[in-house]
């Protein structure tokens, strides 16, 4: 156990608030299978990445869609959910693309039997960002996940001082590639349901795009930045509540919800990409966590929930978010759930 605690201290730069409530086993594992409620889930480390990706390799609801993985079964390495894919700055840098998929990202089981944690040390990351991602399978059909990170060198993020952290969900067959969220079509509109399939039109559009919160601004970027597909966002529509859902095959829905939308320190953005749609009805329903500005040795992070169950109605998806949001009220690292109508508030202080 002392060996593991030393590892966590190094990974998170002696950050006491990042220590898990219950310590994992000393020995990392390459994979972990967890059954809780209706979900059967397989988690993977980075040992075979980028050929086989870390995060959630298999997500099956044995009650509502037995034998149907939520994620793409096209090949061994295609099935990937809640996969940490990119860390992106606003200037040209060879590390803007796919760096979290390379190097050690060790997986540990937690004693509760329903949780695992991925651990990344700062010295193993080209951006010098230590991080942990804890996943908990919660009955009947949820994966709760919590990300925490600490940048060791803010200068690596350049003059724009922000970091886009990007997670991928490579979906299996869907009924509709679009995502659905509560938002506005233009400034001053009333909030309503919005369906969007990432239409073209922006000069940096590349099979998809990103949506930001109604309080968020476009991110500045250097003209010579080459990896641009994740850096731009639509001016409108914008989302008002930090959750979205998609309609998957077998009558299923995949819902993602977050404990924040926008704060002065960080924000969440939604992304959709359609690289496979010419061959399969399999979009990537993704998301971003944006830190602004990046400060050395400051702790950042978010809490979130993924839902994999039968689709009932848009109102049921909203009720899932509202119920979870009530249970998550209170500060979490850099921010908390924030009403879209409320003014931006200063981030919560360290615990």
Query: Tens place of pLDDT for every residue, the chain, 351 residues?
Result: 444 444 444 454 434 333 333 445 679 999 999 999 999 999 999 999 999 999 999 999 999 999 999 999 998 789 999 999 999 999 999 999 999 999 999 999 999 999 999 999 999 999 999 999 999 999 999 999 999 999 999 999 999 999 999 999 999 999 999 999 999 999 999 999 999 999 998 887 878 999 999 999 999 999 999 988 899 999 999 999 999 999 999 999 999 999 999 999 999 999 999 988 878 899 999 999 999 999 999 999 999 999 999 999 999 999 999 999 999 876 565 544 343 333 333 333 332
pLDDT of residue 232: 96
pLDDT of residue 299: 98
Residue that the structure tokens 């009720």 belong to: 319
Does residue 300 contact residue 265 with C-beta atoms inside 8 Å?
yes
Give 195's strand partners: 180
Does residue 175 contact residue 164 with C-beta atoms inside 8 Å?
no
Give 184's strand partners: 238
- Largest pairwise CA distance in the chain: 56
Q: Is residue 344 one of the residues assigned to a domain?
A: no
Number of domains in the chain: 1
- Give me the CATH number covering residue 214: 2.70.98.10
Q: Is residue 82 one of the residues assigned to a domain?
A: yes
Q: Is residue 57 one of the residues assigned to a domain?
A: yes
pLDDT of residue 350: 30
CB atoms within 10 A of CB 15: 19
Q: Is residue 350 one of the residues assigned to a domain?
A: no
Range of the domain at 57: 2-327
Q: Is residue 312 one of the residues assigned to a domain?
A: yes
DSSP 71: B
Q: Is residue 276 one of the residues assigned to a domain?
A: yes
Q: Is residue 218 one of the residues assigned to a domain?
A: yes
Nearest residue to 82 (alpha-carbon basis) of 63, 104, 62, 107: 107
pTM of the model: 0.89
Q: Is residue 332 one of the residues assigned to a domain?
A: no
Tell me the C-alpha distance between 183 and 212, whole Å: 10
Does residue 46 contact residue 76 with C-beta atoms inside 8 Å?
no
């Amino acid at each position: 156990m002392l060996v593991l605690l030393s590892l966590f201290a190094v990974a998170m730069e002696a950050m006491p608030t990042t220590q898990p409530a219950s310590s994992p086993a000393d020995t990392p594992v390459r994979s972990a299978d967890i059954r809780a409620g209706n979900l059967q889930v397989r988690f993977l480390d980075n040992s075979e990445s980028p050929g086989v990706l870390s995060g959630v390799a298999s997500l099956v609801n044995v009650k509502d869609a037995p034998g149907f993985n939520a994620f793409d079964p096209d090949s061994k390495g295609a099935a990937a959910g809640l996969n940490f894919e990119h860390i992106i700055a606003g200037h040209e840098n060879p590390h803007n693309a796919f760096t979290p998929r390379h190097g050690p990202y060790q997986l540990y089981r937690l004693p509760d039997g329903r949780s695992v944690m991925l651990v990344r040390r700062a010295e193993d990351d080209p951006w010098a960002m230590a991080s942990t991602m804890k996943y908990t399978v919660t009955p009947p059909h949820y994966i709760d996940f919590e990300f925490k990170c600490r940048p060791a060198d803010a200068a690596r993020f350049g003059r724009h001082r922000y970091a886009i952290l990007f997670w991928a969900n490579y979906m299996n067959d869907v009924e509709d590639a679009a995502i659905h969220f509560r938002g506005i079509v233009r400034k001053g509109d009333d909030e309503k349901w919005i369906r969007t399939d990432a239409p073209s039109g922006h000069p940096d559009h590349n099979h998809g795009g990103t949506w930001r919160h109604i309080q968020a601004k476009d991110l500045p970027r250097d003209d010579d930045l080459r990896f641009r597909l994740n850096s731009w966002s639509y001016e409108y529509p914008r989302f008002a509540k930090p959750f979205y859902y998609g309609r998957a095959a077998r009558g299923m829905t995949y819902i993602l919800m977050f404990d924040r939308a926008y704060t002065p320190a960080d924000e969440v953005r939604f992304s959709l990409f359609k690289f496979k749609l010419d061959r399969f009805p399999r979009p990537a329903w993704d998301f971003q966590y944006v830190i602004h500005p990046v400060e050395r040795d400051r702790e950042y992070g978010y809490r979130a929930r993924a839902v994999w169950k039968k689709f009932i109605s848009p109102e049921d998806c909203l009720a899932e978010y509202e119920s979870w949001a009530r249970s998550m009220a209170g500060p979490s690292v850099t921010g908390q759930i924030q009403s879209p109508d409320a003014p931006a508030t200063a981030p919560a202080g360290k615990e």
